[in-house]
A and B are shown apart, each in its own frame.
Chain A
Amino acid sequence: DQQVKQNSPSLSVQEGRISILNCDYTNSMFDYFLWYKKYPAEGPTFLISISSIKDKNEDGRFTVFLNKSAKHLSLHIVPSQPGDSAVYFCAASDGSQGNLIFGKGTKLSVKP
């Protein structure tokens, strides 16, 4: 049973516009959520994280929003750039041992 769900396998956005990537989870024990970016033939690269005690975390063009009541988080990229084109994984941890549970990823394509 998938505990972290990314229901959109792909997303296409025009350069300069906002990209919104969504993630839903089922386990209310998760206390940290992370977004990773992955290029082909490379390992996932950490982007941004958010603790369950917060509802927003911002780092440059990247902002993650957390809605605990809805068990939903989203990653906003503004403005989107062609170099942002990659697969984005949402991941969660319950903090007990530190291992991460990943979603299936969303492939973002930013068109010039």
Chain B
Amino acid sequence: AAGVIQSPRHLIKEKRETATLKCYPIPRHDTVYWYQQGPGQDPQFLISFYEKMQSDKGSIPDRFSAQQFSDYHSELNMSSLELGDSALYFCASSFGTGEINYGYTFGSGTRLTVV
């Protein structure tokens, strides 16, 4: 079965550069969630989209922005990168927000390293 696809798997950027992470949800899923997991930390919710509209916002810095496109894929844009942005970025998808009891499907993540 198709899973949540994230690209790239690894990304190395310098401070003050920009980065774009992509997430392709499972077919028919219309909801996408972005999480950031720092070293030794729990995954922190950043932002979510439902039917191409932002549905909830967590601890996403103002330097970051995201959107969901007509094909339901989502992109997380990160500007003025800082060393502290180095983390694993996970995307998860679901069909609506009502199936939480079945859990969300996570992608394998993008490891961003800022040097």
Contacts and interface: CB of A to CB of B under 8 A. Distances in A.
A99 B101 contact: no
B21 to A, nearest CB: 13
B109 A43 contact: yes
A85 interface: no
A41 B43 contact: no
B43 A98 contact: no
Interface residues of B, number: 30
Contact of A36 (B41, B97, B103): B103
A44 B90 contact: yes
B42 A44 contact: no
Contact of B97 (A4, A45, A47, A98): A98
A100 B42 contact: no
Given A42-B108, A46-B103, A105 B55 contact: no
A6 B3 CA distance: 28
B71 interface: no
Interface of B: 4, 6, 31, 33, 35, 40-45, 48, 55-56, 58, 90, 92, 94, 97-98, 100-109
10 contacts: A36-B106, A45-B106, A46-B105, A47-B103, A89-B42, A96-B56, A97-B97, A98-B56, A98-B104, A99-B56
Interface of A: 4, 32, 34, 36, 41-47, 49, 51, 89, 93, 95-105
